Amino acid sequence: MIERFDHFMARANAAYYAARDPFADFVTAPEISQVFGEIIGGWARIAWEMMGAPRDIMLVEAGPGSGVLMADALRAARVMPGFHRALDVHLVETSEPLAALQSQALSSRGVPLTWHSHWETIPQGPVIIIANEFFDALPVAHYIYGARGWYERLIGLSPEGQLVFGLAGEPSGEIEMHAEPGTILEVGFAAREMMTKIAAHLSHVPGALLAIDYGPASFQFGASLQAVKNHRFADPLRDPGEADLTAYIDFAGLKQAAQKAGAVTYGPISQGLFLQRLGIFERAQKLSQNADAQQKQAIVHALDRLARPGPCNGERASMAELFKVLAVTSPGLSKLPGFEADCT
């Protein structure tokens, strides 16, 4: 058995999300604090107003997880009844277990709900798209620079029958850049393809995408692949389908793909800066007014993880710095909230 690594990663993650509860293995920002989803909901409302407050607007979430983010966003949407009435919610989800969780979380929110297994079935029309920790689960390809160019990393079987990494016998013609021998290049072809589809959609209809994920703001060599199981790092080749395989987002590649498809990009900026500009500390302060001592401590801890730069969880960077936020919009739409002070 010899297989491209990105094909292996796609199959492993498809099996993982089809059969497991991923929240037994990792925690995402919406589960840390309700304020995160409320901030996203407020952002979507302002985006809708800047689009001219269309009577009908699709609110799409790609990879909705447990449904908590959308539930919190819809609660914030009720602050402006006109926005809430305009909403038509669409959820792009391939996992049946997760779709069931989302239905439980959202069925009483008073908005139309439609699930899609593929982006291509999203209707045309004004749209706001939320993608929180969506792109990082899409498969990546690995290449290693050798004597005659870039050699693709493959997956095969050892003589003992164990999955192991290997290299193609001939260099790939897909990569043209040069590097030092032994340099690893990680390429998210699937993420770029998805961004191209979304951006092409936005180039023809009024709308915006808010992508929140982890990774460097600019291009870097190296492999960031990791497997997470039971909140711990695991061997990515051991027990495929039993761990979540993710990799850093190539934000530079996503921006380039979006711009080539005719959309406009803003950012990426750090998650901490984005949340601060959208008023996360002010919202948390209001929540604290009616909270007991234990609840106040939990609110402070959540803010430390989500929005305050600095060391967190030992030597690892906080989510405020590690996670970035990228906006992609249709041409002609003004800079959206959170990005006013930044260049494209």
Is 286 contained in some domain? yes
Tell me the C-alpha distance between 2 and 164, whole Å.
10
Is 292 contained in some domain? yes
Q: Identify the DSSP state of 119.
A: G
Non-local CB neighbours of 337 within 8 Å, separated by 6+ positions: 43, 46, 47, 277, 278
Please say whether the dihedral angle defined by the alpha carbons of residues 236, 237, 238 and 239, taken in this order, is positive or negative.
positive
Residue pair 217/282 in contact (Cβ under 8 Å)? The answer is no
Domain region containing 309: 18-137+190-226+240-329
The pTM of the full predicted model, rounded to 2 decimals, is: 0.91
Q: How many domains does the chain have?
A: 1
Q: Identify the DSSP state of 268.
A: E
Q: Identify the DSSP state of 183.
A: -
Q: Tell me what pLDDT residue 312 has.
A: 45
Is 274 contained in some domain? yes
List, as one string, the DSSP characters of 18-38: HHS-GGGT---HHHH-HHHHH
Place of tokens 């997880």: 65
> Residue 325: which of 317, 336, 316, 333 has the closest Cα?
336
Residue pair 56/17 in contact (Cβ under 8 Å)? The answer is no
Q: Tell me what pLDDT residue 46 has.
A: 94
CB neighbour class for 259 (10 Å; exposed up to 12, middle 13-18, buried from 19): middle
Is 145 contained in some domain? no
Tell me the C-alpha distance between 50 and 207, whole Å.
10
Residue pair 219/185 in contact (Cβ under 8 Å)? The answer is no
**Pairing assessment for the beta strands 141-146 and 323-329 based on DSSP bridges:** unpaired
Helix intervals (H) in 169-278 = 189-202, 251-260, 271-277
Q: Which CATH number covers residue 94?
A: 3.40.50.150
Place of tokens 């995408």: 209
Is 205 contained in some domain? yes
Q: Cα 26 to chain center, whole Å?
A: 14
Residue pair 251/271 in contact (Cβ under 8 Å)? The answer is no
Amino acid occupying residue 110: G
Half-sphere exposure of residue 215, counting CA atoms within 13 Å on the CB side?
Answer: 35
Q: Tell me what pLDDT residue 233 has.
A: 84
CB neighbour class for 236 (10 Å; exposed up to 12, middle 13-18, buried from 19): buried
Q: Tell me what pLDDT residue 21 has.
A: 66
10-residue averages of pLDDT along the chain (344 residues): 90 84 71 92 95 96 95 92 96 92 93 95 96 94 94 92 91 88 95 97 95 93 89 85 90 96 96 93 82 83 82 59 95 88 61
Is 198 contained in some domain? yes
Tell me the C-alpha distance between 196 and 205, whole Å.
14
Non-local CB neighbours of 169 within 8 Å, separated by 6+ positions: none
Residue pair 148/172 in contact (Cβ under 8 Å)? The answer is no
Tell me the C-alpha distance between 339 and 344, whole Å.
9
Q: How far is CA 33 from CA 25, 89, 301, 304, in A?
A: 18, 22, 9, 11
Q: Tell me what pLDDT residue 26 has.
A: 66
Q: Tell me what pLDDT residue 55 has.
A: 95
Is 175 contained in some domain? no
> Residue 129: which of 205, 193, 76, 68 has the closest Cα?
205
